[in-house]
Amino acid sequence: MRNQMIWGIALTAIGAAIAIVAILGIPFLLIYAVPFIVIGLALIVWRGREEKIEAIRE
């Protein structure tokens, strides 16, 4: 698995865990959960794009 995938899955899981804790009783933690989830999903969706950009540039 590529490094972006590992980080994306890890950040999404951390964000989901924080969101569950936020829903169960500490709502201000959603401020932290949303960016983790968004960044994690972005890493998963856009993995490997830099290689395609480099190939076009050459």
For 3-24, write each residue's pLDDT tens digit: 888 899 999 999 999 999 999 9
Instruction: Work out the average pLDDT over 46-56.
Output: 69
Q: Is the pLDDT of residue 53 over 90?
A: no
Q: Work out the percent of the chain whose per-residue pLDDT is above 90.
A: 47
Instruction: Check if the beta carbon of residue 33 is closer than 8 Å to that of residue 15.
Output: yes
Q: From CA 14, how far away is CA 24, in angstroms rounded? A: 16
What is the secondary structure of 12-56 as a DSSP string?
HHHHHHHHHHHHHT-GGGHHHHHHHHHHHHHHHHTTTHHHHHHHH
In the predicted model, is pLDDT for residue 51 greater than 80? no
pLDDT digits (tens, 9 = 90+) for 26-38: 888 889 999 999 9
